[in-house]
Amino acid sequence: MRYYVITDPHSFYSLVRAALEEKGFFTDPEPHMLIICGDLLDRGPEPVEMQDFAVNLLRSGQLIFIRGNHEDLMDAMLDDLEMGNTWLLECHDSVHNHNGTWKSALALAGMTDGQGLSYPALLASRVRQSPFYRYLMDSAVNYYETEHYVFTHGWIPCLTNTGSTKFASYKTFSPNPNWRDADPMDWMNARWYNGMYFACQQGLTLQDKTVVCGHFHTSYGHANIEGNGGENLNADYSPFYADGIIALDGCIVRSGLVNCIVLED
């Protein structure tokens, strides 16, 4: 099977489509699929278009959708709205505003900012009835595995010396031999991991597979592991390759770059 792989498209549908066109996704005569390694929405200007594009691919059997931390953020925000908790949304620097989750929800629900704040439960209900939830969230997986690759968002669940899987730089991590069957909280924590740090600086790779991931900008690996450029200034946002890892998040908001790779497996 031929896999076209992207990550963290963040509602930039036009840029995603252009990248896939450049790689030949739409004209490929061979069996092929698109893998999106999480964070479909938020931040960008085209959440509805991004949703509709992904749903159409899912219906045609051409999409594998991996859950990212922004999918978790949407869940958490809707839980707040259903309980009538809107105070976070009234702070313009809140996590829901800063990450673009609020704007994505408004677009999916077809509501204005004022309407959403006045009728939070209605907003949540409309979002949960959207194609994004009914099809994409319902089909989202923590990881997808082939013979030679594991595709996920941040990294796979690991163990720590404190007993928690939540990331903190002072913790010592070790491999989790049962990562496939890790509980939902472990996977939720793993979606926030920096895969380049875990693979190259903690040595937590898989023995026989390469992990393909997103979430953390590839400039981290180029700057801190390869010594090439900076994380933000003079940054290299191209795909990052090292033993056991391919990282793809090109910081689309800042760079306008969609890293799309094609793998046969």
Looking at the structure, do residues 193 and 99 belong to the same domain, yes or no?
no
Predicted local confidence at residue 8, as pLDDT: 98
| Domain closes at, from 35, 68, 101 | 68
Any domain includes 259: no
Looking at the structure, do residues 97 and 188 belong to the same domain, yes or no?
no
Please tell me the distance from the alpha carbon of residue 7 to that of residue 148, in angstroms, as a whole number: 19
Reduced 3-state DSSP string for 56-76 = HHHHCCCEEEECCHHHHHHHH
Asked if 110 and 48 count as a contact pair (C-beta separation under 8 A), the reply is no
What does each C-alpha distance from 129 to 21, 78, 201 come to in angstroms? 31, 12, 42
Looking at the structure, do residues 166 and 241 belong to the same domain, yes or no?
yes
Residues spanned by the domain of 105: 71-132
Please tell me the distance from the alpha carbon of residue 84 to that of residue 121, in angstroms, as a whole number: 7
Classify residue 194 by burial, with Cβ atoms within 10 Å: 0-12, 13-18, 19+: buried
Predicted local confidence at residue 169, as pLDDT: 63
Any domain includes 263: no
Looking at the structure, do residues 151 and 102 belong to the same domain, yes or no?
no
Predicted local confidence at residue 84, as pLDDT: 82
Reduced to 3 states (helix: H, G, I; strand: E, B; else coil), residue 189 is helix
Strands (E), the chain: 2-6, 32-36, 63-65, 144-145, 149-151, 159-160, 173-174, 210-213, 240-242, 245-247, 261-264
Q: Residue 48 CB: number of other CB atoms within 10 A?
A: 17
Widest distance between CA atoms in the chain:
53
- CA geometry: angle at 214 spanning 213 and 218, to 5°? 110
Nearest to 265 by CA among 242, 246, 248, 249: 246
Looking at the structure, do residues 97 and 56 belong to the same domain, yes or no?
no
CA 134 from chain center: how many Å? Answer: 18
pLDDT averaged per 10 residues, the chain (length 265): 98 98 97 98 96 98 98 94 77 77 96 92 97 97 98 94 70 89 95 96 95 98 95 94 98 97 97
Any domain includes 148: yes
Nearest to 216 by CA among 185, 182, 245, 180: 245
Predicted local confidence at residue 159, as pLDDT: 87
Looking at the structure, do residues 113 and 178 belong to the same domain, yes or no?
no
Q: Which residues contact 120 (CB under 8 A, 6 or more apart)?
A: 80, 81, 82, 84, 85, 86
Strand partners, 213: 247
| Domain closes at, from 93, 108, 132 | 132
Looking at the structure, do residues 53 and 93 belong to the same domain, yes or no?
no
| Domain closes at, from 38, 68, 98 | 68
- Number of domains composing the chain: 3
